[in-house]
Amino acid sequence: MSAVQRPLSNRVALVTGASRGVGRGIALQLGEAGAKVYVTGRPQKNLVGKQSSLEKVAAEIIQRGGFGIPVFCDHSNPENVKKLFEQIKMENNGQLDILVNNAYSDVDFIAEKY
């Protein structure tokens, strides 16, 4: 039986806005290809004792053969973003191979306006 090929082994990826939708799908595929994937999303309210959607994505990445790391981050807050990149830099000796900038927060505004 041959080993599963993981073309993104030893690669580090960051997918912002990865708790659902397109970001989630991209993060899962990167994980399946063997990448270490940092997934970000805003903290969810009222989850006492429950797993957040972001934590579920990270767990599914691990199930698919990658390494998923959930990081709660509000990308509209520059200090949160700075801390995120500092964490990735520290944990990976400065390595970041893939960035998928998918975070977007004006969906509700657009839906209300139109």
- Output the tens digit of pLDDT for each of the chain's 114 residues: 345 778 999 999 999 999 989 999 999 999 999 999 999 998 877 667 778 899 999 999 999 888 999 999 998 899 999 999 999 999 999 999 999 999 876 655 555 655
HSE on the CB side for 92, CA within 13 Å? Answer: 22
Would residue 6 count as lying in a domain?
A: no
Examine residue 23 and state whether it is found in any structural domain, yes or no. yes
**Residue partners of 88: CB distance under 8 A and separation at least 6:** 12, 14, 38, 96
pLDDT of 114 reads: 58
> Is 1 a member of any domain?
no
Q: Based on the structure, what is the number of domains in the chain?
A: 1
Rounded to 5 degrees, what are φ and ψ at 48? -55, 120
User: Looking at the domain assignment, is residue 87 inside a domain?
Assistant: yes
Where residue 46 sits, what CATH number does that domain have?
Answer: 3.40.50.720
Residue 68 lies in a domain: yes
The range of the structural domain enclosing residue 46 comes to 12-113
State residue 65's pLDDT score: 84
CB count within 10 Å of CB 29 equals: 16
Long-range contacts at 88-95 (CB < 8 A, ≥ 24 apart): 88/12, 88/14, 88/38, 92/12, 92/36, 95/12
Indicate whether 2 belongs to any domain.
no
